[in-house]
């Protein structure tokens, strides 16, 4: 069945989640993270995801901005840094994350070919609106779908249901793209055609399902969509 709809995870897929710590570390006043910013960013992202899973399985949902703050607080303590100014600066930079360099051209190619495009993310609507606006890609997206509609984080199947409900399409018509191997795998089990964007060259997660495709960036997405 031809692909009609291309759906993207947001953080780590379209938006560079390491950018906040990297940009903060480049400022002279943040010399305390100048050498370990990459570890801080990695710890922040890992805890952000872990807290989303724990909240999902314990029925303790909150929005992704709270999870993001909680993850940062843990990461800062784990890396021996503190301070309200640095914390506020990192959160402000996270709210305005840059898109990866190939994103705008890739989305434009999909839209020019008549495909529907969307974000499907754990992010809260306000977070996603901020990132999309900052990256300047709003005109290339037909929908921004947030888990807040359902009140539980990925990979709950009800999240993937949002795509078919919004676009009135079948799962087989959807090309789903995520930088999270577990997300791509779960979406594959759901029935989407899936792409894992594995920028870091990580091993595949040991799960009952696997992504159909693996790329190291987003440049080949239009070809996989049949353009």
| CA 154/CA 182 separation, integer angstroms | 9
Q: At residue 49, does pLDDT exceed 90?
A: yes
Residue 114: exposure state from Cβ atoms within 10 A (0-12, 13-18, ≥19): exposed
pLDDT of residue 12: 96
Q: Kindly tell me if the per-residue pLDDT of 11 is higher than 90.
A: yes
Predicted confidence at residue 59, as pLDDT, reads 97
Q: Which of 18, 31, 123, 26 is nearest to 75 (CA)?
A: 18
Helix, strand, coil % in the chain, rounded to nearest 5: 50, 15, 35
What are the residue numbers of the active site? 9
Mean pLDDT, range 185-212, rounded to an integer = 97
Can you give the pLDDT at residue 1? 82
Q: Which residue has the tokens 């290339």?
A: 140
How far is residue 45's CA from residue 180's CA, in Å, rounded to a whole number? 11
Mean pLDDT for the stretch of residues 34-60:
97
Q: How far is the C-alpha of 155 from the C-alpha of 179, rounded, in Å?
A: 13
pLDDT tens track for 112-134? 999 999 999 999 999 999 999 99
| Whole-number percent of the chain with pLDDT over 70 | 100
94 token code pair:
């996270």
pLDDT, mean of residues 160-166: 98
Please compute the mean of the pLDDT values over residues 159-188 and round it to a whole number.
98
Q: pLDDT averaged over the chain?
A: 97
81-91: pLDDT as tens digits: 999 999 999 99
Full set of structural domains in the chain with CATH: 5-15+98-224 (3.40.50.1000), 19-95 (1.10.150.240)
Q: Which pLDDT score, from 0 to 100, does residue 37 have? A: 97
Non-local CB neighbours of 205 within 8 Å, separated by 6+ positions: 181, 182, 185
Residue 154: what pLDDT?
98
Give pTM, 2 decimals: 0.96
Surface-to-core class of residue 95, CB atoms within 10 Å of its CB (0-12 exposed, 13-18 middle, 19+ buried): middle
d(CA 37, CA 32) in angstroms, rounded, equals: 9
The average pLDDT across 143-171 equals 98
């Amino acid at each position: 069945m031809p692909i009609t709809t291309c759906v993207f995870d947001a953080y780590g897929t379209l938006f560079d989640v390491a950018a906040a710590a990297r940009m903060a570390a480049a400022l002279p006043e943040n010399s305390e993270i100048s050498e370990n910013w990459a570890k801080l960013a990695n710890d922040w992202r890992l805890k952000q995801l872990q807290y989303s899973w724990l909240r999902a399985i314990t029925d303790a949902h909150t929005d992704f901005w709270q999870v993001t703050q909680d993850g940062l607080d843990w990461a800062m303590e784990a890396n021996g840094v503190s301070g309200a100014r640095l914390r506020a600066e990192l959160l402000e930079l996270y709210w305005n994350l840059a898109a990866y360099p190939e994103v705008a051209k890739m989305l434009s190619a999909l839209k020019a070919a008549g495909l529907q495009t969307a974000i499907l993310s754990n992010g809260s609507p306000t977070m996603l609106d901020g990132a999309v606006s900052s990256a300047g890609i709003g005109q290339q997206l037909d929908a921004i779908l947030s888990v807040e509609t359902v009140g539980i984080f990925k990979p709950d199947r009800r999240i993937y249901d949002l795509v078919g409900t919004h676009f009135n399409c079948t799962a087989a018509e959807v090309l789903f793209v995520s930088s999270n191997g577990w997300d791509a795998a779960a979406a594959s089990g759901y029935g989407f055609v899936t792409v894992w964007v594995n920028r870091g060259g990580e091993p595949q997660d040991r799960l009952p399902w696997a992504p159909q495709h693996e790329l190291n960036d987003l440049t080949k997405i239009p070809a996989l969509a049949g353009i």
